[in-house]
Structure 1
Amino acid sequence: MKKELLIMKSFLEDTHKHGGNGSPTTITTQLFQTFIANTRDLAYQVEDIIDEFAYHIHGYRSSTKLWRAFHFPRYMWARHSIAQKLGMVNVMIQSISDSMKRYYPSENYQGASSLLPMDAKLVNNISESSLFFSENSLVGIDAAKGKLFGWLLSPEPQRIVVSVVGMGGSGKSTLSANIFKSQSVRRHFESYAWVTISKSYVIEDVFRSLIKEFYKEAETQIPAELYSLSYRELVEKLVEYLQSKRYIVVLDDVWSIGLWREICIALPDGICGSRVMITTRSMNVASFSYGIGSRKHEIELLKEDEAWVLFCNKAFSGSLEQCRAQNLESIARKLVERCQGLPLAIASLGSMMSAKKLESEWKKVYNTLNWELNNNLELKVVRSILLLSFNDLTYSLKRCFLYCSLFPVNYRMKRKRLVRMWIAQRFVEPIRGMKAEEVADSYLNELVYRNMLQVILWNPFGRPKVFKMHDVIREIALSMSKTERFCDVYNDGDDDDDAETTEDYGTRHLCIRRKIRSGSLRTRNLHSLLVCSSSKQIIELPPSLNFLRALDLEHSAITKLPDSIVTLFNLKYLNLSKTQVKKLPKDFNKLINLETLNTKHSKIEELPPGMSKLQKLRYLITFRSNNGHDSNWNYVLGTRVSSKIWTLKDLQVMDCFIAEAELIKNLGNMTQLTRISLVKVRREHGCDLCDSLNKVRRLRFLSLTSIHEEEPLEIDDLIATASIEKLFLAGKLERVPSWFNTLQNLTYLGLRGSQLQENAILSIKTLPKLVWLSFYNAYMGTKLCFGQGFENLKTLDIVQMQHLTQVVIEDGAMIGLEKLYIRACRGLESVPEGIEKLINLQELHLTHVSDQLVERIRGEGSIDRSRVKHIPAIKHYYRTDNGSFYVSLSS
């Protein structure tokens, strides 16, 4: 049956490659779509049967002989039931196969697979029509036009490639066409060609299109033998024609770097100053190394005021008075907001709404925008262009992408959360020596590079941390997910009338936004359940979650887990972060397939006995903080664990636990650990702690906090430091550890309460990868001097240095610094000496510093104003009896 499941998945993947995704986006027949849907449902059933069989087998084999003897009849009945289900599945597989042969002969399937999707043709036509857009379609492009004109008309003699990248519908083609048609470009270049590239291009056809464009623009007769020329003859004709000319070529909607590798041979790189423009949705294509001088422009979505102007141009012919006269401004602005600055969506929606005069009609469209996007012919272009990006994804990437539509509109999706949920659902598996986590990271990057997910927060080290899905893309993705019974959202929206469209009828992955009505959901086949309710209303978990693999209750108002949760044999991912749950069920160790347990910022203070039985556990995240300020030494609270957790051989993340002698001694048994966070570390732990950590060779993150401020951290004997990328030490250090200068991969260093008498800077200034550095009451001296070094440092945080009166930045030090924070350093009466040398400094944040320091840089003419005038953002944070405030000192 597993082999049959692989065959079914291969079939589904093949149909996805040809656009057969359950939506009317191709010319494949409705009958064939039915075959796809039936096969998908069967694949779902087979997955569930396999999971059910594994559950019964484990329960029987892991029990005592007496239990097995007593329950043998029930076990045999379960096996009989599963055999019956498999028999029914085999019958259904044969039935589908016979139906395909009867109604859809193989030659029809082959024909359908090879035909070009109608949407692809539509998109190509739209791309070509960009050359004829009216000026009222062009809003917010002046700055981009100026930059691109500068690049295209620059005096460099070599051929230069200029890439314009953005998500589907963002206006790449419109902007490029406006520039391509301009008189400035026409006067500057001798030959011109615009070619739209299809995903399934044939390079010879691209060459022929280029030749026709060049000859047409030159008003020259197109060679009669053009369609009989071979690849080599086409290349020779292009090279011969362009060799001595200054030409401009626009390659519109390029999908892969492979096109450039094939076409560049036909575009001479002479000394005439020729240019090639590439528009693409892929950051990989835009970032490719095309040669000296090549440049990339990333399209930005329209700002609120620009989006409003474009919408008014389309909906009201530019007349705001007409909008106000019809009492439509309020609802119109809401519609524009839903488009989130995407020009194609704004223009298409505006054109559609131009024919609607009644406020009730506008409100109906707003409340049913999801339906409109999927069914209204006037918005078909939006769906078609965005679906083209989706259809270009691999089958695995499609599932990962659709899964993101579970989260609410504008939801901030964290990287680690997505990665772990994808792994729990088996969307991502190890390949070619890469861990599943690494594969998932590459999938996320690919979705970002394709502009299908937006990065809204990067960590200080340049890695994407938080993502969001554009609202219009999410609506289309969620619609497809519902069609495939893949994802659904229960009661997503503000109107109770839409509840009937969001209830679950056999979906695999479900997000609950509101309180569940008793008996309203069929949840037996659920594999994921997310609760994303913004209210404090307590949501009870539905019954019958037998096949659940991921349960995410983050930020929900749940206070107690039902005891029945321990029966969820397939559960791999459990997220209780930011909930009010105080303890886990006593039989929690029955969840033997659990891989991720996240209780971060919950009320759980201790893990139950028997955690050592969860041998598949990989991520154990128990970080908590108290309600006080971070100046409190015990701001971070650890979780206590009583069982022999060190027997978990697959554990990778252990964050964060109370240090106890037995745990410390046995840490080294968990050789797969990449992240360790311990609090309440004592001086006497030092020897055993170092011995254990020296055995953990894959450690990338280490955080150690002593039991109180005056308790030294004895870590001089730590030697296995080469792999550490992030290090946080909170506790007294009697000396700078000798191994500091061996941290060649360190990107983040935080020292708190170190109370060092010697300057630690000498030991760390040469660390090549250090990006973020924090000194929090770490140095007892009066002068902190930064000499040459810290070449890659981007952020420096100096906090609560009670004795500090002077900071000096020497020539060549921290040349790349972008952010400087000085907090609660009352002894400092002036900004650091040499701050004027930090030419890349973008932000200076001053929190609870002396009045003298502030007055020396406040306003023109102040003593030190000239030393900080190059810094774009300077902010002063202070506290009074009325609260906390900040003021800008930038101007």
Structure 2
Amino acid sequence: MASGLIDLGVGRILNVLESEVLQQTGLRDEIEMTKLKLRFMRSFLEQHASASGSRDAVFTTFVKETRDLAYHIENIVDGFSYHINRRAGQAWLKRASHFPAYLRKRRSLVSELETVNQKIQQLSALMDMFHSEGAASLPSTGGDGQWAKNLQESSFFAGDDSLVGIDDSVDEVTWWLLDSEPQRIVVTVVGMGGSGKTTLASSIFRSHCVRRHFDSCCCWVTVSQSYDINNVIKAMLKEICKELGLQAPTDLSSMEYMQLMEILVNILRHKRYFIVFDDVWSTEFLDLICERLPNDVNGSRLMITTRSERVADFSFGTVSRSHRMEPLSEDKAWELFCKNAFSRNPMQNQGSNIESIARNLVQKCRGLPLAIATLGSMMSTRRSESEWRRIHDNLTWELSNNPELGHIQRILVLSFNDLPNPQKHCFLYCSIFPEDYEIERKRLVRMWMAHGFVEQSNGPKPEEVAESYIMELICRNLLQVVSWNISGRPKVIKMHDVVREVALVISKREKFCDVYMDEMEEAQCDETRHLCVQRGISSGVIPRNLYTLLVCPISQEKFGLLDGVKLLRALDLEDSGIDNLSDSLVKLYNLKYLNLRKTKVRKLPKSFHRLINLETLLIKHSEIEELPAGISKLRKLRFLVVNRNTLMTDSSNIWQLKRLEVLDGVLPKTNLVKNLGKMTKLTKLTLWDVRKDHMDDLRDSLSKLKDLRSLSLSPISEADTLPIDEISPPANIEKLNLYGRLERVPTWFRTLRKLTTLALSWSELREDPIPYIQALPNLVKVIFFGNVYEGDRLHFEEGFPSLKVLWITNMAHLREIVIQKGAMPHLQTLQIVACEGIKRLPDGIESLSSLQELSLYGVSDELTEESIDRSKFNHIPTITIA
């Protein structure tokens, strides 16, 4: 495991040494020399990891020392940053009087960095000594990679009696393989580590009917992460020659890639072959092997098992099909557990509480076969209820320390080791959220950015890079998608319970993340960097060098435990029930992220403007009614999301926040609207209480916001008119939300060629808006809410080429919806709510061949499920009328 943690130590130090704060010390040459030595240290550790494996004690000690050194340097730099930021928030006279203290602090930093440099030199010397004296005689074990390869290959021999819950999958994949299609077919089986991919593939590979179909020209190759392409081809040649009764070339060991491939291709040419490549991690392998194998249009098949969605989505240039390994159902999971846990004593789980404990253990595995089977085998030797309960209550500890569960951790850690350095931190950080917690993508991205986990780039924005990390973790099956937005981006994600447990094991060992559940755990998380508090809070639980505090309990107590936590960068209290904040909040000069959404907090400290490094402030759905004076002094603020009724004493000066990208929920004052155009980085803007006298200034300002992608405008009340005829959003606008009466349909609707989402509410239009938007090529979602149109008929005559979601709600005048054939060809969801005049299904709905869900709520009593001829709508999987 430690091989995957090298970059959490050395890599983190290198990142910290790039800090702007260090540039103020005048130690540039020394810092560059330190970075050079660190790169040599990393190379040594990586080389030793590949040679000896991560379980070598000396190697593990080096990794631990570099990690502790990384944290120490981070504390030094952030401590100095804290001092600088505190000084920046002071009046000039006070700042001048404290200048001698600043110089002393700077000298202290220089001295500490010199000590660190000496420590690095000592570690380097120890590494050199160890390398020269011990490395030459060190046997190569292959480490975790070889162990995993052995485990993969052992799964090949699993008996059919051990298979549970994959019968349907076996039938489906076998059907694909035996299909009469003469073109070569590539079948990929994709899923997270431990999901049963190898078990499924080996069951099919050993099937007599499959082997007969391919005339015994069958081959199984375990690829793994650290494959050698020449060795893979040699293994294939030996197995295929053996299957065909041929003599393998005797000089294979001296051949290189091109020679080996030529022999392999010649043997396979004109044969109907079946080859399984098990445990493929990269598309590079597919380029080197799969693309080179002959396709003689005689029904050959390739099967690939992989954890990577990118491998599964690879373009093979021929017919390809993909099977996703789904979690076992609750019944099948229990069956598999019982087969392993109670096979010796079927009556063990009866007459006691063992069965209820066992079912809870199975539930924690979330349908993951590896975890279920391994946990079941371990529990088969436990007899007493107390043993069962102890393991249930301490599963994270058992995963870390119990050899019987070790290979669950090691299988999943392989995926962790394969991650690039920045994504290791991002992945582990997800483990601080509670079990089964649904994490909003934007929330996670902003927290990552607060800690500098996201690599800086001259091209994409940091949040775009962060979102690519999320997609990579999803593609590697390390994160699961709960819901997608209409643009195909993950909206809400979560961690599989077992993956989270393993991530917590790594995080705790590395003092990176921890979860505080009760006072008994207080001593265990006193050195962690990122902490989640899930039950009651006491002052002793907050580590001094904490960087993240995530509070998840429902608590009414005053939150006043921030004294002494000077280095905090992210404070997230969302939905915690906390109703008050201590004034000590304003002393968190390094704070970059503050989330108070869905709390009962009523006010922010008066000196809130002292948080000069704050980048994200989220107070929507809190009880904060007013932002304190000086908010415009937070010049690094990038995301400001507030309640509609939140007042800002200096809202007219908000425009001075030149870095602001999201301004959501602001009550506009004339000076603000006039100067909005100076906030050129805005990508999202929500303005409430827009008046007619704002229009000229708003038009001028919007014309300057070239990066704006989302715009929401609302008048003082739904009865007021939103006078937007003369304005025109930027051409790149993607989301538009207009709330309130419109005098007419804006003609500029037709110009919004990049618009993906349009929401109109209480527009009270006398003219049908459909003709103005039907030709927009990228429109994916349309929401009509509350008497958008006063006519009684909506006619979708043509167009809407990309529309997938249509919601029609609270349109009292509506009596009829007509859909012409050819309109909305890709519509997937149609929802009609609180339209009591609708007495029948939309005319022409049978032409919507892509429709997956039709929902009608609060329509006429005459329209019921019994009143429709369901046979006409068999193409719609889900129809709900209530």
Shorter-chain TM-score above 0.5: yes
Give the fraction of aligned pairs with identical amino acids, expressed as a percent.
Answer: 51
Relative to structure 1, the CA distance from residue 311 to residue 766 in structure 2 (aligned partners, 3 Å threshold; closer, same or farther) is same
Does the 8 Å contact 1:510/1:526 carry over to 2?
yes
Shift of 1:217: 2.0
Q: Which residue identity lines up with residue 657 of structure 1 in the other structure?
A: V
Q: Any residues of structure 2 matched to 1:547-696 within 5 Å, and which? A: 547-622=567-642, 624=643, 637=645, 639-640=647-648, 642-643=650-651, 644-696=653-705
Pairwise CA distance, 1:597: 0.6
**1:136-285 to 2 correspondences below 5 Å:** 136-190=161-215, 191-264=217-290, 266-285=292-311
Q: Residues of 1 paired with 2:629 and 2:265: CA distance? A: 75
1:30 aligns with 2:57: yes
Tell me the alpha carbon deviations over residues 779-829 of structure 1, each in whole angstroms, 9 at most, x when there is no partner. Answer: 011111001211221111111212111110111111222211111111121
8 Å contact kept, 1:122–1:381: no
How far apart, CA to CA, are the structure 2 residues paired with 1:740 and 1:34? 64
Measure, in 2, the Cα distance between the counterparts of 1:782 and 1:454.
Answer: 44
> What is the CA–CA distance in structure 1 between the aligned matches of 2:263 and 2:401, rounded to whole Å?
47
TM-superposed CA distance for 1:135, in Å, is 2.2
Q: AA paired with 2:533? A: I
2:741 corresponds to 1:732: yes
Change over 3 Å in CA distance of 1:539–1:446 after alignment to 2: same
- Tell me, yes or no, if structure 1 residue 53 matches structure 2 residue 58: no
Name which of 525, 528, 535 aligns with 1:504.
Answer: 525
- CA–CA distance in structure 2, aligned partners of residues 109 and 555 of structure 1: 53
- For residues 253-303 of structure 1, the C-alpha deviation after alignment (integer angstroms, 9 at most, x for no partner) is 001000011113541011111111111101011101112321111111111
Shift of 1:539: 4.9
Taking a change above 3 Å as real, the CA distance of residues 539 and 140 of structure 1, as seen in their structure-2 partners, is farther
Q: Secondary structure at the match of 2:339?
A: helix
Q: 1:110 to 1:491 in 2, by over 3 A?
A: farther
CA–CA distance in structure 1, aligned partners of residues 163 and 724 of structure 2 = 62
CA contact (8 A) 1:538 1:556 kept: no
Equivalent residue number for residue 817 of structure 1: 827
Q: Secondary structure at the match of 2:714?
A: strand
Number of equivalences:
850
Say which of 362, 374, 377 aligns to 2:388: 362
The equivalent position to 2:836 in structure 1, one of 826, 830, 840, is 826
In the other structure, the counterpart of 1:849 is 859
- Alpha-carbon distance between aligned partners in 1 of 2:134 and 2:776, rounded to the nearest angstrom: 64
Contact 2:440/2:492 (<8 A) preserved: yes
C-alpha distance after superposition, 1:523-545 (max 9, x if no partner)? 22111111122455555424211
Q: Which moved more, 1:405-414 or 1:75-84?
A: 75-84
Residue of structure 1 in register with 2:793 after alignment: 783
Q: Give distance in 2, aligned partners of 1:25 and 1:407.
A: 34
Structure 1 position 594, deviation (Å): 0.7
Measured against aligned partners, the alpha-carbon deviations of 1:215-248 in whole angstroms (never above 9, x if no partner) come to 2222433332222333222112111111110001
Counterpart amino acid of residue 680 in structure 1? D
The correspondence for 2:783, drawn from 774, 789, 807, is: 774
More deviation in 564-573 or 712-721? Answer: 712-721
Distance (whole Å) between structure 1 residues aligned to residue 86 and residue 137 of structure 2:
49
Q: Quick check: 58-67 or 358-367, which moved more?
A: 58-67
1:639, 1:656 within 8 Å by CA — same for their partners in 2? no
Secondary structure, aligned partner of 1:602: coil
Corresponding position of 1:721: 730
1:411 CA drift (Å): 0.9
Any idea what SS the aligned residue of 1:797 has? strand
Kindly state the Cα deviation for residue 371 of structure 1 after the two structures are TM-superposed: 1.8
C-alpha contact 1:167 1:452 (8 A) present in aligned 2: yes
Match of 1:836 in 2: 846
Distance of 1:707 and 1:401 partners within structure 2: 44
Matches of 2:671 and 2:613 in 1, distance apart?
A: 26
Which amino acid letter does the alignment assign opposite residue 880 of structure 2?
K
Partner of 2:751: 742
Counterparts of 2:161 and 2:657 in 1: how far apart (Å)? 63
Shift of 1:616: 0.7
Which whole-Å CA distance do the structure 1 matches of 2:220 and 2:341 have between them?
30
1:343 shift after superposition: 0.3
Distance 1:598 1:116, change over 3 A: farther
Equivalent-residue separation in structure 2 for 1:232 and 1:205 (angstroms): 13
- Spell out, residue by residue over 1:38-96, the C-alpha distance to the aligned partner (whole angstroms, 9 max, x if none): 22222222222222323334554665554244334433443344344334333433333
Is this contact kept in 2: 1:235–1:265, CA < 8 A? no
Structure 1 counterpart of 2:285, one-letter code:
L
1:298 counterpart residue number: 324
Please name the residue that 1:465 is paired with.
491
> Cα distance, 1:619 vs. partner?
0.4
C-alpha change, 1:179 and 1:53, in structure 2 (3 Å) is: same
Distance 2:310 2:120 in 1: 41
CA contact under 8 A between 1:772 and 1:796: conserved in structure 2? Answer: yes
> For residues 73 and 283 of structure 1, do their structure 2 counterparts lie closer, same or farther at Cα, with a shift above 3 Å needed?
same
Q: Could you list the per-position Cα deviations for residues 658-689 of structure 1 after superposition, in whole angstroms to 9, with x for gaps in the alignment? A: 12222211111101000001111122222221
1:888 aligns with: none
**Structure 1 SS opposite 2:783:** strand
Assess if the C-alpha contact under 8 Å between 2:89 and 2:610 holds in 1.
no
What is the CA–CA distance in structure 1 between the aligned matches of 2:427 and 2:782, rounded to whole Å? 35
| C-alpha contact (below 8 Å) 2:45/2:59 kept by paired residues | no
Alignment of 1:416-495 (within 5 A): 416-491=442-517
- Structure 1's 7 and 346: CA in aligned 2 closer, same or farther, altered over 3 A? farther
Which of 81, 106, 114 matches 1:79? Answer: 106
Q: Deviations over 1:358-408 (max 9, x none)?
A: 111111111121122122222122111111111101111101111111111
Superposed CA deviations along residues 187-241 of structure 1, whole A, max 9, x for unmatched, are 2112100000022212111111111111222243333222233322211211111
Structure 1 residues 302 and 639, CA gap change in structure 2 (3 angstroms): farther
Q: Provide the TM-score with structure 2 as the length reference.
A: 0.92
Task: Determine if contact 1:621/1:656 at 8 Å carries over to the other structure.
Answer: yes
Q: Distance in 2 between matches of 1:801 and 1:79?
A: 67
Partner of 1:328: 354
* Structure 1 residue aligned with 2:535: 514
The one of 786, 794, 803 aligned to 1:793: 803
Query: Taking structure 1 as reference, are residues 638 and 769 closer, same or farther at Cα in structure 2, changes over 3 Å only?
Result: farther
Contact 1:17 1:394 in 2 (8 A): no
Any idea what SS the aligned residue of 1:480 has? Answer: helix
Aligned match of 1:880: none
Distance change (3 Å), C-alpha of 1:369 and 1:28:
closer
Q: Do the aligned partners of residues 69 and 809 (structure 1) sit closer, same or farther apart at CA in structure 2, a change above 3 Å counting? A: closer
In 2, the alpha carbon distance for the partners of 1:434 and 1:65 equals 38
Q: Provide the C-alpha distance between the structure 2 equivalents of 1:110 and 1:578, rounded to a whole number of angstroms.
A: 60
Tell me the distance in 2 between the aligned counterparts of 1:779 and 1:376.
66
> Separation in 2 of the partners of 1:834 and 1:272?
45
Q: Which amino acid aligns with 1:654?
A: L
- In the TM superposition, what is the alpha-carbon distance from 1:422 to its structure 2 partner? 0.7
- Taking the TM superposition and a 5 Å limit, the aligned residue runs for 1:71-110 are 71-102=98-129, 104-106=130-132, 108=134
| 1:524 counterpart = 2:554 | no
How far is 1:171 from its partner? Answer: 0.5
Which SS does the other structure have where 2:349 is aligned?
helix
Deviation per CA, 1:545-590, whole angstroms, max 9, x where unpaired?
1111111111112222211111111111111111111111111111
